[in-house]
Amino acid sequence: MDIHVLTIFPDMFPGVIDASIVGLARTRGVVGVHLHDLRDHTNDRHRSIDDRPFGGGPGMVFKPEPVFRAVEAIERSISSDRAVRRVLLTPQGERFTQPAAERLAKADALILICGHYEGFDERIRTGLKPDELSIGDYVLSGGEVPALVVIDAVTRLLPGALGDERSAPEDSFSRGGLDFPHYTRPVEFRGMRVPDVLRTGDHDRIEAWREMKARERTRARRPDLLDSARPERDRATATPETSQTTNGRRKP
């Protein structure tokens, strides 16, 4: 997969994308992360990417021209048989969840558009018809940190990204609820013991214990996830609320 990021702060990405699973996945060629400075797609002396809002009010609004130009240039660089998704990071978007990450992971390429200031000219939404994603009900300074969240959550789902292919499906949320508790050595630490069942070697009992603990934890901390629990096969094939066809390209 290739992930293209359109941002006015490309310097916010190195470090995070160099480390851990994303860093390894990039080294292994599982994912490519390509940073595009929105200012490179302006054509005025000041390289302006925003302007004052029509109708007055505080703050600045992202201009449509540089964003359209940048997205079109990025798409020209991607082979036309590849499934591309445009994604706008905005607090007004659909909530980014594990099923949303699973949907994005099916694409061949993502274009993540990071906004700033008061927002976007509405024509960026109506003209480019991106998926719109929010990472939570709070307002951040821009879409860069949300884009990093999306890059991380999607990359770890790509085949070859994790050392152990079983890890991703067993995470919290992938099974529709929270994860079970994990233990390693020592067997006893400051008076706290590893549950005996985990040391029996009886895989059926261990699996039953883990399922029970995962359900208990989900009920106690996130009962909303139990309400929305659905069979695993549904979750993997859920379709997005918002859908787009990018210039007639195939869309996953």
Q: Which of 10, 53, 64, 91 is catalytic?
A: 91
- Confirm whether 250 is a catalytic residue: no
> Which residue's CB is nearer to ligand ADE, number 98 or number 210?
98
- In whole angstroms, give the CA distance from residue 72 to residue 89: 18
| Catalytic residue from among 108, 171, 179, 216 | 171
118 catalytic? Reply is yes
Please, what is the minimum distance in Å from the beta carbon of residue 146 to ligand ADE? 4
Contact 104, 155 (CB under 8 A): no
Catalytic hit among 2, 37, 94, 118: 118
Cα 176 to chain center, whole Å?
17
Least distance from C-beta 223 to ligand ADE, angstroms? 24
102 is catalytic: no
Least Å distance between CB 153 and ligand ADE?
13
Catalytic residue among 156, 175, 235, 249: 156
Contact (Cβ atoms closer than 8 angstroms) between residue 138 and residue 95: no
Q: Which of 75, 112, 82 is CA-nearest to residue 96?
A: 112
Residues that bind ligand ADE (CB under 6 A): 89-91, 134-136, 138-140, 142-143, 146
Rounded to an integer, what distance in angstroms lies between the CA atom of residue 225 and that of residue 9?
35
> Of the two residues 136 and 195, which places its CB atom closer to ligand ADE in the complex?
136
Query: Looking at the chain, which runs of residues are DSSP E strands?
Result: 2-7, 32-37, 50-51, 61-62, 84-95, 109-114, 119-120, 131-134, 188-189, 192-193
Q: Positive or negative CA dihedral for 185, 23, 236, 98? A: positive
- AA letter at 100: A
User: Closest separation between CB of residue 188 and ligand ADE, Å?
Assistant: 43
Q: Is 171 a catalytic residue?
A: yes
CA distance 185 to 171: 21
Specify the residue, 1 or 89, whose C-beta has the smaller distance to ligand ADE: 89
Catalytic residues: 91, 118, 156, 171
